[in-house]
Structure 1
Amino acid sequence: MLDISLFGLLAQQSEDQLLNNIWIGLLSVEALMVLGVALRGLLGAVASSRLAGRRRSHDSDFFHPGCSQ
């Protein structure tokens, strides 16, 4: 039969391990969220600069009324 103190020690270790696993899981989810936001911002900036470049190159080909060429 297990001694009461040994059983308490085993229960405490498994509880600590469970809490550590939950903590690591939460940190992993948070890291993935931060990575997702960073990638979304980076890709948004790249897409925005490409669109701005296209607008600039096509604007020069377009005749604006009232402008002399």
Structure 2
Amino acid sequence: MSSDNIIPFNSPIRAQIKCEMAGARQRFGHDNIDLLIIVSSWGDTMDDRQVLDALRKLNRTALVFDDITDRAD
């Protein structure tokens, strides 16, 4: 892995993520499903920018997903 792919935790975006995550945990609790999905996806299917955007949306609207489809078949 190239070292240019590694973002130090103290970078500005990581500090913003840490702040938004703390706010979400305080507001919604550690076991909130939306928060758990974001945290689980971080570094896997979501990069730092996507995680920050999702946390901001969660803190602003209390929802991450605009649409949830439940197939009951």
Q: TM-score range by the shorter chain?
A: under 0.3
Q: Which has the higher helix share?
A: 1
TM-score (norm 2): 0.25
More RCO (CA 8 Å, sep 6+)? 2
Whichever of the two has the greater Rg, that structure is: 1
TM-score, with structure 1 as normaliser: 0.26
